[in-house]
Structure 1
Amino acid sequence: IDWNVTARFNAPFVKEFIEERDLTLFIVFDVSSSNEFGFKRSKKEIGYDIAASLMFAALRNNDRVGLCLFTSEVELFIPPGKGKKHTLKLLRELIYYEPKNKNTDIRTALSYLNKIIKKRSIVFIISDFLSPDFERPLKQLKNKHDVILVEIADMREAHIPDIGYAFLEDQETGEQMLVDTSDLGFRERYTALVKAKRDAFLARMKRIGVDIIQVNTSEPFYKPLQRFFKMRERRVRG
């Protein structure tokens, strides 16, 4: 984690956002295998930076923060607490936790949170959101809490480079497929398919009314977060 960047980022933006709401904060983090992917840095590593920024913002504001780690099931839940000792505990669990499962099912985590979170809270869900069909429990959670999706993607997932024959592997199932990446038609069809799936996802989230922070592993993590919090500030001020 780049602590210097984290410290510079969260002071003027996240802290103000949490102060305005004065609510308990939950970090809901996808630790499934698909988040191990990344060209320069993995999606999981970028997620660590984002989660740390939010946690330290809550610490500075003396707010309560809780943590939920999930794959195809809820693997770890730490109830909200406050203070430096609690924050460091959350970070240790987040960074050093070894998942029991590889697959993702966001529905399981959302259904769990719908049952366990009673007080209105800010819920940041950090994931690549490759898991399908989780709109219903997400809508239920959004109706009770302020839910923000932090979608982390890698450019190589949408644009395959021309490197000849190569194996594409599903990191959750281990299934492999041999493809000819020098085939321009294949690359164009692949890119179009990924774009169509992403556009459909964004459209579904827009219908539900949740905000999405789109983060790419190729750019500094704090830039899209800064844009988001500036947008939220303008929205609050009208």
Structure 2
Amino acid sequence: MIPREMLRKIRAIQIRTSHKVDELLAGNWHSAFKGRGIEFEEVRPYQIGDDVRAIDWNVTARSGEPFIKLFREERELAVHLLVDLSGSLNFGTTTQTKRELVAELGALLSMSAIRNDDRVGLTLFTDAIEKSIPARKGSRHVLRLIRELLYCQPVGTGTNLQGALEHLNRVSKRRTVVFLISDFQDSGYERSLKVASRKHDIIPVIVADPCEHEMPNVGLVRLRDEETGETITLDTASRKNREKYSRRYFKHADARDQLFRRLRLTPIHLETGRDIVDPLHQYFHARERRS
């Protein structure tokens, strides 16, 4: 039984995002992904004009005659939200934290998938897998996903992208559209991401807060790392400290973005306190044009 107060909050985020779902679907949700998922259907003898790349060499070798594979497009998408709930997601200096932004984004993507009659699943992770919900359809299912996005109390505080991606590869046997939602404050996940991107359609979604790349001048502040518990006192009035802080952020961001380019992954960048529909629109339209 869901407590009444929790139900009100779930309904509130559902109402808040419902009109955004219409905008997102109007932005060609399905056409952005069409042709990405295909299933083998049968083989037939090769005919002049067929694509030689579709030849089934195993059947051809056994029969002594060329055969090609036929595929059919999957009309139903399998969508999975792979969501980071590590301690750093509790940070926020605008009207919302990164965790709240992630919850709104997850609700929007889940409702869009369900409205389009697609199945959607959810995995929440920190330095361990906190919760894994298989892909299903239906409004009750999407309410459960929103509830977990809003109220899951993770045991871990760190970030293990490698473990999350390896879990995805184990549990998702068929090709899936995966929204990997994180602030990507981690390293050592390159190989796992490479393997996952070969098997699945990975869409990195980078969530950030404006003060993460540009520290404001507010004098002496005490900062605590939500993932490690380490605390430091920093003089933000020092221009040198602010520049060092920004350089460190952009160095990490540049290494991350170079990895995405090598793997031919196009990320979506979102910031707290800003609209999330427009960046998604732009991504889907650009993806549709590439297709």
Q: TM-score range by the shorter chain?
A: over 0.9
Q: TM-score, structure 1 length as denominator?
A: 0.94
Note the C-alpha offset of 1:198: 0.8
Q: 2 CA distance for matches of 1:123 and 1:143?
A: 12
Note the C-alpha offset of 1:218: 3.6
User: Are 1:227 and 2:282 matched, yes or no?
Assistant: yes
Matched position secondary structure for 1:215:
strand
Greater C-alpha Rg: 2
- 1:154–1:217 Cα contact (<8 Å) kept: yes
Q: 1 CA distance for matches of 2:207 and 2:26?
A: 22
| Corresponding residue for residue 38 of structure 1 | 92
Query: Aligned ranges for residues 159-238 of structure 1 at < 5 Å?
Result: 159-236=214-291
Q: 2 CA distance for matches of 1:231 and 1:146?
A: 15
Q: How many residues align?
A: 236
Matched position secondary structure for 1:211:
coil
Note the C-alpha offset of 1:3: 2.2
Higher relative contact order (CA 8 A, sep 6+): 1
Identity of aligned residues (%): 36
Query: Aligned ranges for residues 106-145 of structure 1 at < 5 Å?
Result: 106-145=161-200
User: Are 1:26 and 2:26 matched, yes or no?
Assistant: no
Q: 2 CA distance for matches of 1:31 and 1:197?
A: 20
Distance 1:179 1:158, change over 3 A: same
Distance 1:157 1:19, change over 3 A: closer
Note the C-alpha offset of 1:9: 3.1
What 5-or-longer segments of structure 1 have no aligned partner? Answer: none
Q: 1 CA distance for matches of 2:121 and 2:263?
A: 24
Distance 1:175 1:19, change over 3 A: closer
User: Are 1:148 and 2:162 matched, yes or no?
Assistant: no
Note the C-alpha offset of 1:4: 4.5
User: Are 1:15 and 2:29 matched, yes or no?
Assistant: yes
Distance 1:123 1:78, change over 3 A: same
| Corresponding residue for residue 48 of structure 1 | 103
Deviates more, 1:83-92 or 1:69-78: 83-92
